[in-house]
Amino acid sequence: MLPKISIITVVYNDHINISRTIESVINQSYGNIEYLIIDGGSTDTTLDNINKYINNIDVFVSEKDNGIYDAMNKGIGLCSGDWILFLNSGDFFHDKNILDKISGYIEQNKNVDIIYGNYNVLSENLDFSFVRDADDIENIKKDMVFSHQACLIKRTIHQKNYYNLKYKICADYDFLLKSYLEGAVFLRISEEIATISNGGLSDINRIKVFKERLKIKNTLIPSLSNYFNYFKSTSYLYLVGTLKKLMPNSFFVKFYKLKYKITGAQKENFNQSEI
């Protein structure tokens, strides 16, 4: 029997993008999907859009929550699948056959707890997209090595560790690092799993991300190297912020192409006029 995969979508006031995410799930060719939508009490037309697909949704909850990770924890508690994947509003699968492909890896790797792969990033601020290759799991001690939208997690692993609500931005990193340190078996695959938006993070919010990840690492793996990595990340961010004020747009087209070439990403759809 095919393993049941629970797809959980968290949404709040996103009537523009929710339909694309839902259709990405319900059009999957895979034959054993449980679909859950956890809405945070939307006040726009999000609920109207969701109701158009209600016959394709197994579990639907709409109520106020304490943030995205609280909503994700609700989904974990309500789902019944063997595996869990979070595909939140605005995200969508790479193609309609991706879960079929992943099920093959599940069948061939019975001892694996978390399967992760590559993902496509849509940049709202820079109007370009690129494929981000997942990194070796050993590097999770330094930073996030893949997106949580591009991984499947055994439900038994998630039942052991829910998302820690004291972290508002990086609870997924806390969960994955903790799972790694506790001996969870990770499998990296070469498939491109999902497309996500970077959310148009401002430099201030990126600093918050770095600070919260530093706090997580100091809790789980205290080391002076944590501060070195934090300094390196923030210094790079300040450098880019300064250059943005001084350099023409064309410079950043070349800069980001070079950056993603070095880091192994594939560049697509650069639009100089929007940078």
Express each pLDDT in 17-33 by its tens digit: 999 999 999 999 999 99
Q: What's at 94, amino acid-wise?
A: H
Q: Is the pLDDT of residue 192 over 60?
A: yes
Query: What would be the CATH architecture of the domain defined by 5-200?
Result: Alpha-Beta Complex (3.90)
Is residue 211 within a helix (H) or strand (E), and if so which, with residue range?
Answer: helix 203-220
Q: Identify the pLDDT of residue 267.
A: 41
48 vs 41: CA distance, rounded Å: 12
Average pLDDT over residues 101-123: 94
CA distances from 77 to 38, 59, 249 (A): 11, 11, 47
Q: What is the pTM of this model?
A: 0.87
Q: 202: which residues sit within 8 A by CB, 6+ positions away?
A: none
Q: Is the pLDDT of residue 116 over 60?
A: yes
Quickly count: other Cβ atoms within 10 Å of residue 43's Cβ. 9
Average pLDDT over residues 203-209: 78
Q: Is the pLDDT of residue 251 over 50?
A: yes
pLDDT-derived band at 233, boundaries 50, 70, 90:
confident
pLDDT-derived band at 246, boundaries 50, 70, 90:
confident
End-to-end CA distance of the chain: 49
Say if residues 15 and 46 touch (Cβ distance below 8 Å): yes
DSSP 191: E
What SS3 state is found at 42?
A: coil
Average pLDDT over residues 85-96: 95
69 vs 47: CA distance, rounded Å: 20
Q: Identify the pLDDT of residue 261.
A: 62
Average pLDDT over residues 112-120: 97
Q: Where are the domains positioned within the chain?
A: 5-200
Question: For 165-197, b where at least 16 C-beta lie within 10 A, e where not — what string?
Answer: eebebbbbbbbbbbbbeeebebbbbebbbbbbb
